[in-house]
């Protein structure tokens, strides 16, 4: 058949659904102590990083994901100076965080030294030198352990970790106990943002449970949704805060904070995008409200591998 690709990467969403990415070139594959890392060039999205068989980010649209994760949280805080990134191995969350003039120090803690090393070498489009910025401290250790062992507080915490697959390194960073620690390590006006899984109506369990679990610690919890084409499924994020509510930020106020605090251009996020990110359809709001499971260390949530 005309146009049929020779090689495919099959990414499974469940036992009965998957997507096939046409592969132009395999770049790299390694089983690290924590996960299976693969780098490929796809026809549709360019270079793509997969961890344990799931797209983490793609050259063509990583900016949509990283803008949504970083900028609403940092601009909601009146003066974010100290930021913690948990995960974020590719360095793009770090790159976007460093665009904020208020930020004086960023600690990035990713459990997998190999993801950081391979990203440094093979994903320069993602990190754009951010690992070498003098405001950056990059550590390789479990993000939860880091928070448990360090008393210092942060103005914003960005949790950019892989999905909670069983036996994977991330699932204990989606629990009530973890969010309690995050709350303690945030300063009084602190904000946390995290990727929370798909907003696909048939698979809303992760996002809904994360939302309700965050609510056990934080007075303000809001859901964001966007479309990241390489993820295939629509994607959800949660933003939780001790004090400030992103619903109260008008598009004009967002644009004026961007102008005052960010000197480099943003490709996806502005006042209008902010308003769109927080507009969740009625059927999804209802599904999220109905699905009230609380995730705990002894009752974790697992995404199908
Ligand atoms: N954009 C992604 C997504 O949609 O899932 C997340 C990207 S980022 C590459 C995920 C990173 O989280 C990986 O580099 C992985 O090593 C890191 N990670 C997973 N579990 C972690 C943990 N417990 N502590 C710190 N980092 C962790």
Averaged pLDDT, 219-240: 98
Whole-model pTM: value is 0.97
Best mutation site among 28, 93, 161, 235 for ligand 1, i.e. most ligand atoms within 8 A of its Cβ?
Answer: 161
115-137, pLDDT tens digit by residue? 999 999 999 999 999 999 999 99
Confidence of residue 5 (pLDDT cuts 50, 70, 90): low
CA of 275 to the centre of ligand 1 (A): 27
41-51, pLDDT tens digit by residue? 999 999 999 99
* Ligand 1 atom at minimal distance to the Cα of residue 115: 14
Residue 57 CB less than 6 A away from ligand 1: yes
Question: In the predicted model, what is the mean pLDDT of the chain?
Answer: 96
Q: Which domains does the chain have, with CATH numbers?
A: 2-58 (2.30.140.10), 62-290 (3.40.50.150)
- The predicted pLDDT at position 19 comes to 96
**Phi, psi at 158, each rounded to 5°:** -115, 115
């Amino acid at each position: 058949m005309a146009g049929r690709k020779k090689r495919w990467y099959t990414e499974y969403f469940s036992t009965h659904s998957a997507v096939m990415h046409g592969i132009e070139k395999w770049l790299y594959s390694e089983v690290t102590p924590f996960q299976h890392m693969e780098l490929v060039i796809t026809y549709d999205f360019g270079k793509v990083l997969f961890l344990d068989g799931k797209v983490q980010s793609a050259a063509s649209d990583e900016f949509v994901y990283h803008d949504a994760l970083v900028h609403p949280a940092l601009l909601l805080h009146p003066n974010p100076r100290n930021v913690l990134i948990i995960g974020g191995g590719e360095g793009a969350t770090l790159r976007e965080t460093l665009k904020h003039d208020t930020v004086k120090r960023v600690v990035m803690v990713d459990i997998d030294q190999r993801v950081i090393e391979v990203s440094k070498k093979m994903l320069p489009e993602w990190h754009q030198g951010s690992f070498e910025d003098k405001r950056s401290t990059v550590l390789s250790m479990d993000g939860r352990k880091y928070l448990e062992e360090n008393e210092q507080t942060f103005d914003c915490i960005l949790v950019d970790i892989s999905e909670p697959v069983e036996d994977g390194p991330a699932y204990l960073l989606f629990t009530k106990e973890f969010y309690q620690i995050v709350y303690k390590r945030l300063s009084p006006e602190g904000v946390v943002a995290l990727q929370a899984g798909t907003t696909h109506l048939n698979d809303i369990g992760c996002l809904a449970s994360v939302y309700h679990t965050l609510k056990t610690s934080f007075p303000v919890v809001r859901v964001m949704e966007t479309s990241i084409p390489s993820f295939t499924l629509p994607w959800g994020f949660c933003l939780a805060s001790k004090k400030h509510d992103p619903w109260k930020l008008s598009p004009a106020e967002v644009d004026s904070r961007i102008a005052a605090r960010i000197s480099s251009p943003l490709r996806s996020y502005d006042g209008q995008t902010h308003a769109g990110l927080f507009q969740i359809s009625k059927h999804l709001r209802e599904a999220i409200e109905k699905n009230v499971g609380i995730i705990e260390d002894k009752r974790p949530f697992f995404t199908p591998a």
